[in-house]
A and B are shown apart, each in its own frame.
Chain A
Amino acid sequence: MDALGINGPFLLAQIVNFVILYLLLSRLVFPPLLKMLDERKQKIAEGLTAAEVARQEAEAERAQLMNQLEQERAEAQRRIAAASTQAEKVKAEILASAQKEAEEIKVKAKLEAEAEKQRILADAEKQIAELTMLATERVVRLGMDQSLQHKLIEDFLSETSLN
């Protein structure tokens, strides 16, 4: 033992030295360090939970906003749809009325044309009659025989064929 340098008092002194060091360190140094670490860990955990809460809140808000937006969009869609049906209706109405008017105009024009035709025809007949009378007078005045008379009338009629 002596040759190895092991001896009681020194051994004891070393143990005592270590115990004193241990007591000093575990009283003065480690508690504040561990406390600091734990506090920081806790703080980080708290921060994380706070962040999580904030995130959830933001998420909820976003969802709400989205919802609102969706609603508004639907409303707008509905309005557009309504307006478009309205417009369709108006268009149909306008079209219908225009068609009716056109029809009326057409009918009126037809009637007018018919009347004009009748009037012209009547006019023509009247003139034909007058002309016939004139021709007859002339034939009579000349005193032509019956056959010539007929031939003249027929010639005249074919010349002035109205039909």
Chain B
Amino acid sequence: MIEILAPALAIGLGAIGPGIGIGLLVMGALQAMGRNPEFAGEIRTNMILGIVFAESIAIYALVVALLLLFVGAPGLAG
């Protein structure tokens, strides 16, 4: 049971932070775009970069989940 739960928890909990982070990031970017639309292109580029960096934290959680799923952790049965 634990070997199924562990990866699920890893990705589930690990996705919370980046989710909030990406939300905040996009919020800020959209506000900035609304305030000065003439820089919308530049802001969008930086927003996407920021999203990629925030997303990569979720990806680390995903990697850990995949490791648990396909390789298994020492001490865990299976």
A–B touching in complex (CB under 8 Å): yes
* A3 at interface, CB cutoff 8 A: yes
* B13 at interface, CB cutoff 8 A: no
User: Per DSSP, are chain B's interface residues mostly helix, strand or loop, or mixed?
Assistant: helix
The number of chain A residues with a CB under 8 A from chain B is: 2
Alpha-carbon separation in the docked complex, A3 to B67 (Å): 9
CB-CB under 8 A from A3, the residues of chain B are: 67, 71-72
- Chain B proximity of A112: nearest CB distance (Å): 102
* A4 at interface, CB cutoff 8 A: yes
- Mask of B35-78 contacts with A, CB within 8 angstroms, 1/0: 00000000000000000000000000000000100011000000
- Chain B proximity of A144: nearest CB distance (Å): 139
Alpha-carbon separation in the docked complex, A3 to B71 (Å): 6
Of residues 95 through 110 on chain A, the ones whose CB sits less than 8 Å from some CB of chain B are none
Of residues 1 through 34 on chain A, the ones whose CB sits less than 8 Å from some CB of chain B are 3-4
CB-CB under 8 A from B67, the residues of chain A are: 3-4
- Mask of A137-157 contacts with B, CB within 8 angstroms, 1/0: 000000000000000000000
- Chain A proximity of B57: nearest CB distance (Å): 20
Of residues 3 through 34 on chain B, the ones whose CB sits less than 8 Å from some CB of chain A are none
Alpha-carbon separation in the docked complex, A26 to B71 (Å): 39
- Chain B proximity of A35: nearest CB distance (Å): 29
- Chain B proximity of A7: nearest CB distance (Å): 15
Chain B residue, CB-CB nearest to A2: B71
- Chain B proximity of A130: nearest CB distance (Å): 126
Chain A residue, CB-CB nearest to B67: A4
CB-CB under 8 A from B71, the residues of chain A are: 3-4
Alpha-carbon separation in the docked complex, A101 to B58 (Å): 121
Which B residues form the contact surface with A (CB < 8 A)? 67, 71-72
Which A residues form the contact surface with B (CB < 8 A)? 3-4
Q: Can you list 5 A-B pairs with a CB-CB distance of less than 8 A? A: A3-B67, A3-B71, A3-B72, A4-B67, A4-B71
